[in-house]
Amino acid sequence: MDDIQESTQAATIAALKAERDQLLTLLKALPDISFVLDAEGRYVKVIGGANEAMYASGKSLEGYTLADALPPAVAEACLTHVKQALHTGEMQTLEYQLCVADVALLPPSVRDNDHHQAEQWFEGRALPLPSYDHSKPVVLWVAVNITPRKQVEQYWREAAYTDPLTGIANRRALFEQAEHEIQRAHRHHRPLSLLVLDIDHFKTINTQYGHAQGDEALRQFTQCCARLLRDTDFMGRIGGEEFVMLLPETDQLGAEQLGARIVEAIPTLDVPGMNNEHRMTVSIGAATRLEGEGFEHLLVRADDALSTAKRSGRNRLRVDQAATR
């Protein structure tokens, strides 16, 4: 009976070893790199990574730990998922950013390569390997380079929130940011002002010089305004030639001062192809948030002030006076 049990056990061990060897052979042929990591985060074996355009060889990591090789935050997150996989017996997934040049144990020739200086995105998949011959429990960690996918996601995310002509925020992004700033100003009882800007007689520019020149005028207008803003300010295009500026931590006087600088700066722009006699000007309406006021009402007041600026002859700033009534 003992002989039968020993024979059965030996056959089982041999089958598991053959299965493991088949798995490792398969992994070596795959483009993604894989690691056998033990419960302490030690690299027991590095496998695969045949796609040299996406991965650097990690053989030099064997015998070292995640903490030895990776930046602290990445190493800690990876080790947490290794332990979670061993505890639950189920696959754990983690997305993380890593610059190959920051992997301390790679050879200098690899780390100094220009291709490896850029930040990359990986999806780590940790799955327990119960039959692996090692003194401690291990997982198989497959690192899938998902940088191209992340780049596509970033492109579409920016496209959804960016005005394609000027490169600033579009209407959707502006309104979302405005709600956030309104809530913050309300919560902390801080001032917030709004400027609504409209390029004067812009349709005449398009008619006289053509749409291509009109587009260039819009870009130069945007760049000029952006140079006058602080890092905390937010500018968006909400219509053809209409723009809005969110000015956190800005009272009525601050909004007036900025608006006056913009009115003064725009006519100095020299748009290629446009006659020197034909200078752009801008009309601006300003409003400062009242206690408890939402964005839509604040925008209406700033827009009413803009209408007043246009009726008054354009090329000027008008401020809604609700706060002083």
CA triplet 34, 40, 43: central angle to 5 degrees? 30
Q: For residue 62, what are the contacts with CB-CB under 8 A and spacing of at least 6?
A: 43, 44, 45, 46
Nearest in space to 182 (alpha carbons), one of 171, 170, 173, 191: 191
Tokens of 215: 């587009």
CA atoms within a 13 Å half-sphere pointing along the CA-CB vector of 68: 12
Q: How far apart are CA 122 and CA 189, in angstroms?
A: 42
Q: Which amino acid is at 70?
A: L
> Who contacts 180 (Cβ-Cβ below 8 Å, separation ≥6)?
none
**What own/partner pairs with CB < 8 Å and gap ≥ 24 does 99-106 have?**
100/56, 102/70, 102/71, 103/56, 103/58, 103/61, 103/69, 103/70, 104/68, 104/69, 104/70, 105/60, 105/61, 105/64, 105/68, 105/69, 106/56, 106/58, 106/60, 106/61
Residues assigned a catalytic role: 241
Please state, in angstroms and rounded to a whole number, the distance separating the CA atoms of residues 226 and 231: 9
Rounded-to-integer distance, Cα 283 and Cα 305, Å: 10
Place of tokens 């993604």: 32
Phi and psi at residue 272, to the nearest 5°? -55, 135
234: phi then psi, degrees, rounded to nearest 5? -140, 125
